[in-house]
Structure 1
Amino acid sequence: MQRAIQARALQQESSTHHLARRSLAPNSTQKVTLGVIGAYVGLIAILWNIPYVKYVLWPWKMLTIAFHEFGHAATGCCTGAKIKSITLDPREGGCTMMAGGWGPLTLCAGYLGSSFIGAALIACGFNIVASKVCSFVLAGGFLITLWWSRRDWLTIVTILFAVGLLIACWFIAHGAALRFYVLFMGTMSSLYSVWDIFDDLILRKVNESDASVFAKRYGGSSACWGVIWAIISLAFMACGILIGLAAFKESFSEQAADSKDFLPTRMMMAMLTRA
């Protein structure tokens, strides 16, 4: 009887310890990650609005636009559409041409799709191994987008730049740089819809934004839909941060040790050399 009570007490203690490990209270490593996310938010917000200096962000804006268009195209495929092409505009625009699909969902999927991808990137950015896994998913999405946009030189160059940067980050400190790159892309993608909606509907008042097209087809005002999508995008970002806090409690040293054993850089170098 006494042994059974002791066993039950040990089980409860183990369960409590497990819950404590998965709590949302950030440890020292996660506090650094949150600080990096905050720094990214501030840096991007500043660079986004300074004349001429804002062109520093241009390659990454093109990448987030690629995520945006991928959201349209992927949702179109899931709802029966045939994707004709994807193009990126040097003036920071994009267009996905498709036939068929469910209009209400495919129109929403641009901003919300890029925000969802951004949230997933932020969650993975809390851990090096998760960032490595995420990089394969990213590369696959980029290559699919490359196939759809194979006639547009700007999209081709932008996507090849993104894939090249992903590969380069693999070989810096066993993928530690990849983690911070994934965090940056996640922050950029999560907030892109908020900033872009603000630009389109308040500053520039673009007539053919996704929100204005949605309003013309299905009612309401473009500003209303834009605000709703922006709020959902921020909610996605918050969820990504909470998932990262709950799932990845390892310290920097523990992450580095795990990363050395998960597809080590020597193995990757050998694979690239053979290819």
Structure 2
Amino acid sequence: MPPPAIPMLPQPIVELTNSTATTLHYFVSRANITPNSFQTNTVIAACVMFLAILIAWNLPILRDAIAGLKLFTVGVHELCHLAMGLSCGGQVVSICIDPNDGGATHVMGLMRTTPRIPRNPYAMPTFAQTFWSPSAIATLASGYIGSSIVGFLLVFSGFNIVASKACALVLHFGLLVPVLRADHWIAYASIIGCEVLLIGLWFSDHGNALRFYVLFVGVMNLFYVVWDYIDERLFDKRNTSDCAQFSELLGWPTSSWFIFWFVYDSLVFTAAIFAGICVFRRTDDEMYREASKFLPTR
């Protein structure tokens, strides 16, 4: 008996597949991922900033000093929940943005109206696991995903002075928004301090050191899951972490969801570093000359 015939793809599809593979191979072969000294220092600074934020976020005095940046980070995270919840047809009941208790966005109308039949008849699902819906999961996941996207853009921009100056304009107005919700003098003082530092770095040497400020905020947003989870474990904050919410809706321990989202954020962080190295191929002098022409301060 002759062997069965192997199905062949249509010729246009084969040509398209070969063309795409050739194009990807061309760009990969042309990509230079060897960092120069400027980019190497940026990568080292980003890694050190992760440890610095991990310490500052949890120590009593330092966590108040960076309350302004924490409000911005928590606000971005909750804004992503808010946008996705409204997109899925939900109704926002309340939103809380607190530098120490974290954030919480309550959206109604996303859960199922009829209970879900468990696959295992001997299983005892919780109430939330019985009524969860794709809209509820999408709204919950949008917080970490949105924070990672914002963090990716800021870390990526930290490899270029001009891009950092553009991001600094967004951060300037973004830091002013929490003033509307701040209710303590520590929050006001921290926001003012963050704004003064931002403006000072902008007018100092054409914003040459501004990229480290942007990089710091980028790392803080990208790894929000770490601060969210540790806050809950160490300080038993009033607003539970999204990892605990995932555990309540889908099962799995809270620590397992933390590992899942931490691995995801680590991959996004790695992608931001490689993107910054590949895109911003400039020497220190070239980058400095470009920065002196973009919204010059002298």
- Cα 1:99–1:255, aligned 2, differ >3 Å: closer, same or farther? farther
Per-residue CA shift, 1:133-181, capped at 9, x if unaligned?
22344456556x55xx945545984667655654443222112232111
Which of 47, 57, 60 is 2:56 aligned to? 47
Structure 2 counterpart SS, 1:87: strand
| 1:83-102 mapped onto 2 (5 Å cutoff) | 83=92, 86-100=95-109, 102=135
Q: Which residue of 1 aligns with 2:115?
A: none
What amino acid is the match of 2:77?
Answer: H
Listed one character per residue, the Cα deviations across residues 213-253 of structure 1 (whole Å, up to 9, x for unaligned) are: 22223333322222211211111111111111111121222
User: How does the TM-score come out when normalised to structure 2?
Assistant: 0.68
Contact residue 63 and residue 159 of structure 1 kept, 8 A: no
| TM-score, reference length from structure 1 | 0.73
Q: Aligned match of 1:210 in 221, 226, 242? A: 242
**Could you say which residue in structure 1 is the equivalent of 2:156?**
123
CA gap of 1:17–1:105, structure 2 versus 1, over 3 A, is: closer
Q: Secondary structure at the match of 2:209?
A: helix
Where does structure 2 lack aligned partners over 5 or more consecutive residues? 1-25, 111-134
| In 2, Cα distance between equivalents of 1:53 and 1:139 | 21
Alignment of 1:30-41 (within 5 A): 30-41=39-50
Q: Matches of 1:47 and 1:221 in 2, distance apart?
A: 27
The percentage of counterpart residues that share the same residue type is 36
Q: Does 1:29 find its partner at 2:38?
A: yes
Q: Secondary structure of the residue that 2:281 maps to in structure 1? A: coil
Contact 1:215 1:221 in 2 (8 A): yes
Structure 1 distance, partners of 2:90, 2:175, is 20
Question: Structure 1, residues 27-64: CA drift from partner, whole Å, max 9, x if none?
Answer: 11111211221222233334345554554444333332
Deviation at 1:130, TM superposition (A): 1.0
Structure 1 distance, partners of 2:210, 2:41, is 16
SS in structure 1 of the partner of residue 104 of structure 2: strand
Larger Rg: 2
* C-alpha distance in 2 between matches for 1:87 and 1:193: 17
Could you tell me whether the CA contact under 8 Å between 1:126 and 1:179 is conserved in 2? yes
1:105 pairs with 138, 156, 159, which one?
138
Q: Find the residue that maps to 1:91 and give its secondary structure.
A: coil
Aligned to 1:3: none
Alignment length (residue pairs): 246
**Alignment partner of 1:265: what SS?**
coil
Q: Which residue of 2 aligns with 1:238?
A: 270
Partners of 2:289 and 2:175 in 1: CA distance: 29
**Structure-2 change in CA distance of 1:153 and 1:45 (3 Å):** closer
Q: Relative to structure 1, is the Cα distance of residues 17 and 205 closer, same or farther in structure 2, using a 3 angstrom cutoff?
A: closer
* Residues 1-275 of structure 1 mapped to structure 2, 5 A cutoff: 22-50=31-59, 52-83=61-92, 86-100=95-109, 102-139=135-172, 150=180, 152-153=182-183, 157=188, 165-200=197-232, 202-203=233-234, 208-265=240-297
Per-residue CA deviations over 1:84-132 (Å, capped at 9, x if unaligned) read: 6543225342223444563211212223322221121110000011112
Report the alpha carbon displacement of residue 72 of structure 1 after superposing the two structures with TM. 1.6
- Equivalent residues of 1:112, 1:232 under 8 A apart: no
